[in-house]
Structures are given as structure tokens and as C-alpha cells.
Amino acid sequence: MPFTRETYYIDKPIKSFLFLMKKFNFTQAQAQRFISKGRLIVNGKPLLDKASIVVGEVEIVRFNPITKGIKPIFVNRNFAIFDKPSGIITHPNKMATDYSMLDEIRYHFGQNANATHRIDMETSGLLLASRDKSSERFLKLSFEQKRIKKQYLAWVKGRVEREFIVEEPIKIRDDYSTSKHKVEISIDGKYAKTHFRPLKYNKKLDISLIEATPYTGRTHQIRIHLFHVKHSIIGDPLYGTEFNIAKLYLEGKLSKRDRLEATGANRLMLHANRLEFSYINRYKIVSKVDFSKWRSV
């Protein structure tokens, strides 16, 4: 498990952040952030006061990455790019998380490396990771300022015959009693725009492979925009399924057989296929996965 507890004994009273700085070569900001995350344990409880005095036995919760053999497809001194498989989360969402892409990032590049954006667990494809804090700040700011262009591939229901744009505002739902959709199209939502282009049609299955280019970065943007135009993504257990199917999925009770029957696949058929951005030089990175070949798992 990546998060482990280590026990240390402090023989002389010292401020908690100074102990971390000396013991682990942290900067003051790193030490204070470590404490604010509840990673310094005293008497069985997280110590959250960054200037508190510590002495005697303390526990440190540290992230010790493991690897399952996923290697970056591109590396330079500032960043690395991974082809994330479907089914793996980007960051651990709790200390009990067994494995995430952050494991691979820090296994290969150390504790200062980090994912600079998120990809939903079931979405596969390109994940951009920084190798140090300076590159992390630059790349995250680039995402915020829309200077990084992302393109996705998706297998969707029905035949898409021509390219089109969906420009509909998206709102996070606050009531899940009648729908398990995380977001909805609403005039009260935030502006969102996605361009779609058809690439391939499978007549036997009546499904289309399309390219999706989001111009904004709203939650579930591609999924809700495609649902809105009645071309839901194959394998999507939330958008385009019955309420009970979505409920069972969110509760972790939907069997693979029932999901395959209800959605057409046992994973969300959405893939982050291309990244374009500048970092000293101009980069155009394309996934090594051939997503154009239909796979239902």
C-alpha cells in the first residue's frame, strides 16, 4: 500500500515543521503542507498546528510508490507523459487507496513529481506529469489558461455523419433523487464548448468513432454533450442508462454482465488521444494505443 506509517522518536522539543525540514529535507512550505494534510500523527491523532512543539514518539504517514510496470511513453527533464489504462485513478482519493497513477509517476521520478491534470478513472489515454515543482506550476497554469490542447477519441451510439459543435452550459447537479448524472445541461450552468468530428462507422454494431476537442474543461463535458445530442459514449454507466443501472454502478454492485448488456462495454469508451502544448519547445504527443480498433473491455 503506498501510504505507510513510520515511527520516529524526538528526544528534544522542536517545532513540528522544523522537525520535518531537518528530517526529510523539506522546504518550510512542503513541511507545512505535509502537516495540513494530517500526515504527522501524535498520540494517534493528526497534528494540524503547523507551529506546535513535538517531542517523544511521533508517526509520519508517507507515500511510498509502487509500480505495476507502466512506463512513460515520453520523457524529458521537465515532464513525462504516460498512456494511462482505463480503470486506474490519477490520484489516490484516500490513504487506503491501493494504487494510482501517482504511484507510477513518483516511482519513476521521485516525490516532487506530480500529475498536472486529472483523467477520470475509466477514461484511458495521455496523462501529463511534471518532474519537479517548477514544471508543475508551469504546466498547471498552462491548463488553467487553456494553452494545452486536448483531443479525445470516443466510440458512441449511432451513426455520426458530419462534424458538429455542442455549445451548451453545464451545471453540477445538487439533487440525485431522480437522476444519477453528476452534471446537466442548464442555463444556470457554466459555458462549455466541444467540437466533434466523425472518423469511422461500424455498421454491424451501429456505433461511430469520433474525435472530440473540448474548448472548455467542465466536469464530464464530453459525456454530457454527447448524451445531449443522443450519441452517448459506449460503456457509459451514467449518461444514457436507466436510473437503476447508474445507481448500481455508483454503489459498486453492477455486474460486468449487466453493464455490458446495458451499455455495450465494460469500460467507458473514451480515450485521451492527443496533447499539444509549448514548454520551451512545441510538443505534439499522440497516444500509442490504437483506439480505432473496437474493444468492448
In the block, residue with C-alpha cell 499522440? 286
Give me the amino acid identity at 220: H
Q: State the chain's mean pLDDT as an integer.
A: 92
The Cα 88–Cα 77 span in angstroms is: 25
DSSP state of 275: E
Instruction: Give the pLDDT confidence score for residue 111 in this predicted structure.
Output: 86
Nearest to 159 by CA among 260, 230, 242: 230
Residue 297: which pLDDT band, with cuts at 50, 70 and 90? Answer: low
pLDDT for 186-199, tens place per residue?
999 999 999 999 99
pLDDT for 131-180, tens place per residue?
999 999 999 999 999 999 999 999 999 999 999 999 999 999 988 888 89
Nearest to 275 by CA among 132, 141, 125, 156: 125
pLDDT higher than threshold 70 for residue 221: yes
The Cα 193–Cα 186 span in angstroms is: 13
CB 160 within 8 A of CB 210: yes
Instruction: Give the pLDDT confidence score for residue 295 in this predicted structure.
Output: 65
Three-state secondary structure call for residue 78: coil
Domains and CATH numbers, the chain: 3-63 (3.10.290.10), 74-145 (3.30.70.580), 151-272 (3.30.2350.10)
pLDDT for 150-162, tens place per residue?
999 999 999 999 9
Nearest to 173 by CA among 184, 189, 186: 184
Instruction: Give the pLDDT confidence score for residue 1 in this predicted structure.
Output: 56
The catalytic residue positions are: 120
CB 168 within 8 A of CB 286: no
Can you say whether the dihedral through the CA atoms of 120, 122, 128, 129 is positive or negative? positive
The Cα 5–Cα 251 span in angstroms is: 30
In the block, residue with C-alpha cell 520551451? 280
